[in-house]
Structure 1
Amino acid sequence: MGEFEKVGALLAVALAGVLLTGCGSQAGGTAGARKATGGAGPCGVGSASPSAAAKSGVRVTAVGPVCAEYEVTNGAGEASDVTVVFSRTGASGGAVDTVTRTVEGLAPGAVGKGRVELGGMASGVKVLTVRSVPSAEAPRSDGPCPESGVRVGVDRGDAAMGLRVVGLHLSNCGTAAVTLDGYPELHVLDVDHKPVDGVQVVHGGARIASGTGADDPPREFALQPGEGARSTLVWRNTTEGGAPVNAPYLRVRATPGAAPVMVTPELDLGTTGRLGVGAWIRDDAAPSAVR
């Protein structure tokens, strides 16, 4: 091989190495939440207009041919778990799909970094929603069991003709039985985690709609380690006059005096001013998603 051919081969190997390290090892395109991750090298050139991509403390900092990088700044006064839903977009700017990323335990004022993989039909990203909950109250589907001995989360629910039905799930991850008898205690919170006035939490779903599964009377039962329970949240998004209520967060206490957990059911209550909640019942099915 001549000197010219040797130089060309070395350059090809170096270029291949840059392309392989340009996007790190995180898999993209999933709908589940993940911890934000760094990588071995930048995704590409800096974003042409990063300020236009900024939303609620999240900023897209670079977009390359295979991935996009972002920064999450915690503007709260306590450690927080920040979940970001990105829309992966095509060349025309239209949505291809969504990707969810979560930065856990971000200290006040701290900046977390991560990336979203591109490729195929996706060539860019937009920030759709940003939700932040105190890390001390964050629902966790894995990791160490909380001191309370239970995990609490919500599933993705079902919506039809303005009716919303969402499952609230509890699992006993501890080593002792947990006694349930009655309804979870709920507090509706706005985007700033402030209580929302004018929303009535009612027991059962009959005052909102029939056949939702939220009307079983409360019964006392012991939940053994590894077992689960569920409650049903029911509301309508009907708007008849006045300002509609959109409350992303719900602070939940599984039993009176239990440690609170902040979940994100995205309550679009319209002007109904009412949220129905069912009593705890046994649940052998695992929740489809926790947030």
Structure 2
Amino acid sequence: MRRPTPLAPAAVAAALLLLTACGSELVGSASPSGGAVPQPQGSEAEQDGVRITRVDTPSHSAGSAGISAAYEVTNHGTEAFTYTITFNFTKSSGEVLDNVRHTVSAVGPGRTVKGTVDAKEAAMMATSAEAVKIYEVTRVPADEAPATSGPCPASGIRVWADEGDAAMGLRLVGLHLENCGTRDYPVDGYPQVTVLDEDLKRIDDIKISQGGGGMSTVDGFDDPPRPVTLKPGESATASLAWHNTTQFGTPVNAPYVRVLAKSGAAPVTVTPHLDLGTTGKLGVSAWKRSEQ
């Protein structure tokens, strides 16, 4: 599964079921006055319930900020899902200028939600874009969607994954736990994780180890767990580590991981896009209090 290519030097390889391949490219008119281009109807224009319905090209005489697109998200499933959509802004040649990610929360079964995306949300370079493309769609059950802000969940905690890092073939993704409630929240040990495929089904033939299991040389990854009690407003971190080595066998690409902060906690499904190669191994570090 590909992820959006970061364009800024400081960016890291991106995260946030159904994973898409490259979507239908939607190119705006090049007329000097700008205009609206309706998009083709039917399944060829849709990816996993998401489709672009209209592209508005800039009016150069009016000094418009760039191309924009209207889109729809339709939930064809039987439960509410939260969708994360990555849009690429490109030249007509296909060169990617920047990407923008939209999250559409809690789309009920059978419902359609509409939205818009425009180049003003991306880098300045994207204002010269000539096309809009759906790069990737992910979806998780609405009651398991991660959140970094907003109302505190009923569980009293927030859990989410960061964008991760990749160096020397080792992949690392951070898990974050925040006590957003009103009571102390104790953890003592490792996050409980389940690896899921694009259909949110469990992948059983993955060896999940507490610690790096010999994979990670990252300082502190193999430190033993210690009790941590988070007061309201405090947070803790853990990490996932894996290699994407490919040898004999079928490579495993697992987009989703279901995380429980501890036994009995409410599940949260994150999207680290595990490209495990043929290793079949995933390491998990223990929770540690975040540095304030």
Q: TM-score range by the shorter chain?
A: 0.7 to 0.9
Shift in alpha-carbon separation, 1:166–1:223, aligned structure 2, 3 A: same
SS of 1:64 mapped into structure 2: strand
Matches within 5 A, 1:1-291: 44-48=36-40, 51-65=43-57, 66-118=67-119, 120-284=127-291
- Distance in 2 between the 1:132 and 1:57 partners? 10
Question: How far does residue 216 in structure 1 lie from its aligned partner after superposition?
Answer: 1.0
Pair member with larger Rg: 1
Question: How far does residue 111 in structure 1 lie from its aligned partner after superposition?
Answer: 1.1
Question: How far does residue 284 in structure 1 lie from its aligned partner after superposition?
Answer: 2.8
Question: How far does residue 44 in structure 1 lie from its aligned partner after superposition?
Answer: 1.8
Q: CA RMSD in A?
A: 1.9
Partner deviation per Cα, 1:90-134 (whole Å, 9 max, x = no partner): 132221111101110100121111112146221211111111011
Report the AA paired with residue 129 of structure 1. Answer: E
Shift in alpha-carbon separation, 1:50–1:88, aligned structure 2, 3 A: farther
Report the AA paired with residue 165 of structure 2. Answer: D
SS of 1:81 mapped into structure 2: strand
1:165, 1:212 within 8 Å by CA — same for their partners in 2?
no
Aligned residues between the structures: 246
Question: How far does residue 51 in structure 1 lie from its aligned partner after superposition?
Answer: 4.8
Shift in alpha-carbon separation, 1:271–1:95, aligned structure 2, 3 A: same
Partner deviation per Cα, 1:146-188 (whole Å, 9 max, x = no partner): 1111100011111013210111000000001011100010000
Moved more, 160-169 or 225-234: 160-169
Partner deviation per Cα, 1:58-117 (whole Å, 9 max, x = no partner): 111111213111111112211111001111111322211111011101001211111121
- Distance in 1 between the 2:281 and 2:237 partners? 20
2:197, 2:203 within 8 Å by CA — same for their partners in 1?
yes
- Distance in 2 between the 1:156 and 1:32 partners? 5
Q: Which runs of 5+ in 1 are unaligned?
A: 1-30, 34-42, 286-291
- Distance in 2 between the 1:220 and 1:67 partners? 50
Q: TM-score if structure 1 supplies the norm length?
A: 0.80
2:70, 2:114 within 8 Å by CA — same for their partners in 1?
yes
SS of 1:202 mapped into structure 2: strand
SS of 1:45 mapped into structure 2: strand
Shift in alpha-carbon separation, 1:47–1:254, aligned structure 2, 3 A: same
Percent of residue pairs identical: 51
- Distance in 1 between the 2:81 and 2:40 partners? 29
SS of 1:265 mapped into structure 2: coil
